[in-house]
């Protein structure tokens, strides 16, 4: 059994998709001359944990080993994943999905709450037992959003699996209006 959790996103807000689109467009332009690629929420990753197969579909991911796939699913871990919260997925994104990403040792995990205008940035590190753990690196809010810069990270390693793909980023996340200002919303949607 694939253990793929299907969630009814019929009531999802357009802002959910706009955050993903803004992010993938900005990062995609920066990665066009590299071996890494950014993917929106239509790419599967499938991994085995003991005797159980887990399949996840992140809202966005950055993968530097795009040939490592079987069928329509990647079998390697991306270097970065992002989940944009919705009412129907928040618990799963913060618990089970986060744990799957931790076990796969994905370097950086972002949880974006577009309604609260927050980005939680988690970095992977190892505890005293050498077990992978996520630690909250920074929480970006309206007050400190200027600290968020989308730029390629330092690649101090010749091994692309160990290269940090991204530093903290800021430009992909537009703080959306409450829907009353249609002209501003249209301008944000085109960036």
> Are 179 and 185 in contact, with CB atoms under 8 Å apart?
yes
Provide the token pair at 61. 């991911």
- How does residue 161 score in pLDDT terms, banded at 50, 70 and 90? very low
* Lowest model confidence (mean pLDDT) among 62-71, 118-127, 151-160: 151-160
**Within a domain: 9:** no
- How does residue 158 score in pLDDT terms, banded at 50, 70 and 90? very low
**Residue range of the domain that includes 115:** 14-189
Position 12 scores a pLDDT of 67
CATH number assigned to the domain comprising residue 164: 3.90.1570.10
**Within a domain: 185:** yes
Q: What is the pTM assigned to this prediction?
A: 0.74
**Within a domain: 1:** no
CA angle 94, 104, 79 (to 5 degrees): 90
**Within a domain: 150:** yes
Q: Which of 72, 133, 146 minimizes the C-alpha distance to 105? A: 133
The C-alpha atoms of residue 126 and residue 105 are separated, in whole angstroms, by 10
- How does residue 112 score in pLDDT terms, banded at 50, 70 and 90? very high
**Within a domain: 182:** yes
Q: How many domains does the chain have?
A: 1
**Within a domain: 41:** yes
Provide the token pair at 190. 């085109």
Instruction: Give 125's strand partners.
Output: 133
- Per DSSP, the residues of 131-179 read -EEEEEEEEE-TTTGGG----B-----SSTTTS--B----TT------S
**Within a domain: 138:** yes
Rank 56-70, 96-110, 134-148 by mean pLDDT and report only the highest: 96-110
């Amino acid at each position: 059994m694939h253990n793929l959790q299907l969630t009814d996103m019929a009531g999802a807000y357009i802002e959910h998709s706009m955050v993903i689109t803004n992010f993938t467009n900005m990062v995609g332009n920066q990665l066009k001359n590299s071996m890494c690629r950014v993917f929106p929420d239509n790419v599967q990753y499938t991994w085995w944990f003991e005797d159980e197969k887990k399949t996840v579909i992140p809202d966005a991911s950055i993968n530097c080993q795009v040939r490592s796939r079987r069928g329509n699913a990647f079998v390697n871990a991306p270097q970065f994943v992002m989940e944009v919260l919705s009412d129907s997925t928040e618990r799963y994104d913060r618990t089970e999905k986060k744990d799957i990403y931790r076990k796969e040792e994905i370097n950086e995990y972002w949880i974006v709450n577009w309604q609260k205008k927050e980005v939680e940035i988690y970095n992977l590190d190892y505890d005293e037992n050498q077990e992978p753990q996520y630690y909250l690196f920074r929480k970006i809010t309206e007050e400190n959003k200027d600290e968020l810069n989308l730029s390629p990270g330092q690649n101090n390693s010749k091994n692309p699996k160990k290269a940090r793909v991204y530093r903290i980023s800021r430009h992909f996340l537009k703080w959306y209006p409450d829907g009353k200002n249609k002209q501003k919303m249209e301008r944000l949607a085109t960036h």
